[in-house]
Chain A
Amino acid sequence: EPEVTQTPSHQVTQMGQEVILRCVPISNHLYFYWYRQILGQKVEFLVSFYNNEISEKSEIFDDQFSVERPDGSNFTLKIRSTKLEDSAMYFCASRSPGTPGYTFGSGTRLTVV
């Protein structure tokens, strides 16, 4: 079964450092997303990406965040200057046109110290 792959599975970084979270969506999917889940809280939408541009973003996705699809396979989330409150599980997801269901990757656990 096709899957969304995320790396690394766990990243520890110092406050103020930049991090890049990587995702390889399912190959024939055209819609890409990042969500996050702070420990013990609900899953929250960050950003959606289609046709090489952001189609929607939440209030969480401020100027510290950016996304990129640098080639035909990778989809990255960059946090420019991490804060303690950025510690969370970050999930990448992708979706095929015409299908309602998303496939989520197994997530990257980001710990900011």
Chain B
Amino acid sequence: RKEVEQDPGPFNVPEGATVAFNCTYSNSASQSFFWYRQDCRKEPKLLMSVYSSGNEDGRFTAQLNRASQYISLLIRDSKLSDSATYLCVVNSNAGNMLTFGGGTRLMVKP
């Protein structure tokens, strides 16, 4: 089983749509969880950390379900500039190593 698993997409959505991505992880000892964004041939950039209580940053909402080992990201009111690959990332070892999912590609169209 892959350590961090994501639907690769692509998700093609119109501007203004709401889109949700899911991610599952296999290591129940995982401690920290993140969503990163990666544009084509660029470095990953931290979008937001994910907390058990759920957290929101503007149009972005992240949820964590530790019992199901499941992480989600919701994007409301999609913009063209949201087009990118969204990486689910898990830290399983007190900060020393990030494990990346394969990413979900989002394409927002006018």
B44 within 8 A of A: yes
A101 & B43 in contact (Cβ 8 Å cutoff): no
Interface residues on A, range: 20 to 34
Distance, CA A77 to CA B34, complexed state (A): 26
Distance, CA A106 to CA B99, complexed state (A): 19
Q: What chain A residues lie within 8 Å of B91 (beta carbons)? A: 100
Main secondary structure, interface of B, reads strand
A56 & B103 in contact (Cβ 8 Å cutoff): no
Contact with B along A65-102 (1 / 0, CB 8 A): 00000000000000000000000010100010000111
Q: Knowing A56-B93, A106-B43, A107-B43 touch, does A100 contact B34 (C-beta < 8 A)?
A: yes
B1 within 8 A of A: no
Chain A nearest CB, measured from B42 CB (Å):
7
B46 & A43 in contact (Cβ 8 Å cutoff): no
A45 & B49 in contact (Cβ 8 Å cutoff): no
Chain A nearest CB, measured from B39 CB (Å):
11
B44 & A91 in contact (Cβ 8 Å cutoff): yes
Contact with A along B34-57 (1 / 0, CB 8 A): 100010011111100100000000
Q: Knowing A100-B32, A100-B34, A100-B49 touch, does A43 contact B44 (C-beta < 8 A)?
A: yes
A102 & B46 in contact (Cβ 8 Å cutoff): yes
B100 & A100 in contact (Cβ 8 Å cutoff): no
Distance, CA A33 to CA B100, complexed state (A): 14
List 20 interface pairs A-B (beta carbons < 8 Å), by A numbering: A31-B95, A33-B98, A35-B98, A42-B87, A42-B100, A43-B87, A44-B100, A45-B97, A45-B98, A56-B93, A56-B96, A56-B97, A58-B97, A100-B34, A100-B95, A101-B34, A101-B46, A101-B49, A104-B43, A104-B45
